[in-house]
Amino acid sequence: MAEWIQMPEREFARQVEDIEKDPLFRKLFFSEGSGVIRRQRWPGGRYGGSLYELQEGLVASGERVKVEEALGDKAELLPLIRKMGRENFERYFLYCEEGVPLEEIAKRTDLPVEAVRQIHDLLLEIGAQAEFFLPARDPGMARSYSCLARLSIEGDEASYEFFQPYWARGLYQVRYDLLEDWKRSGKLEANDRRRLRHLLKRIEIVNLRQNTLFRILESLTRLQTEFLGSRRDDRKRPISLRMLARRLQLAPSNVSRAVAGRSVRMPWGQEVPLITLMPGRRNVVREVLARWLAEPGPRPTDSEIASRLRREYGIQVSRRTVNAARHEVVKSGRV
């Protein structure tokens, strides 16, 4: 599990592609009257990328050749995607929550069955070509970071605009009751029966990996709602790795692997490492002190600051810690 959690997103996208191009998976997902495998979207999750805007945006910046190279012979699918409209694209290709067979999708979208299959394949292949399908990186961000989503806060509700289709789609749901019906009805051939256990195990591992990462992302977003809604660093909550691991009942090592090398976009557009949402207590105290010490009036004592931190932020620190943080803030020239 540790290997899957720290697996680079591009490599993971290839694993998803291998699973979904497996003939047995397609039989269980797309066959008439099947519905054995379905998808379940994340709470507040949606697709933040757009194949409609992809070509237009890159063409405007003079990168048309790169788009065509990235899509190869699938570049001809973009007009078909735009023609069917966003609603049909998301309903039958992006999220696929209904379990509609390929032939029925073709009928409803007025497309050839082969084009329907190719559009599904295109969405799987996008993850392995992230450099063409992700927003432009912030200058200060290393290319090694994988940007998962854009975070948004509306009131107390968090939402996640994922940049990769396989993230926006959420988890796989396996209907084991329907699977047993398939076994009894003889719809699974002997070779399929032998391969079934391996396929289900891979799906289980993919789900476990994605669920672990999303729970961490969701928890950090909710814990930092005040900061994300205000953009004020002094409204960050101190979150330690062990505290988050304990909250989610995960191993601290897995939480550490999950946040390493991954980034998110803030509601105001800035891309930052995911670990930015896990500031240590000392960092939070410094940000709060910088704001308080800049307020007009007499400077509060270390004891008064410690009491105010406990009262307003629930942070308990000693006067010695406050004094050390005060010196750091003054030395940095922020007050």
Q: How confident is the model at residue 64 (pLDDT cuts 50, 70, 90)?
A: very low
Four-residue CA torsion sign, 132, 268, 221, 53: negative
**Model pLDDT for residues 104-152, shown as the tens digit of each residue:** 999 999 999 999 999 998 888 876 665 555 666 677 777 788 899 999 9
Residue 148 one-letter amino acid: L
Query: Residues for the chain: how many in total?
Result: 335
- Beta strands per DSSP E along the chain: 37-40, 45-47, 146-154, 157-162, 171-174, 262-265, 271-273
For tokens 């004094």, the residue is: 323
Answer whether 0.85 is exceeded by the pTM: no
Share of the chain above pLDDT 90, in %: 41
Say if CB 34 and CB 100 are below 8 A apart.
Answer: no
Q: Nearest CA to 309 among 291, 294, 296, 297?
A: 291
Q: How confident is the model at residue 5 (pLDDT cuts 50, 70, 90)?
A: very high
Q: What's the CA gap between 60 and 53, in Å, rounded?
A: 10
Residue 160 one-letter amino acid: Y
For position 58, what pLDDT does the model report? 37
Which segment of 36-40, 187-191, 257-261, 311-315 scores lowest on mean pLDDT?
311-315
| Average pLDDT score over the chain | 85
CA-based end-to-end distance of the chain: 47
Q: What's the CA gap between 175 and 185, in Å, rounded?
A: 15
Q: Which residue ranges make up each domain of the chain?
A: 2-134+171-195, 281-331
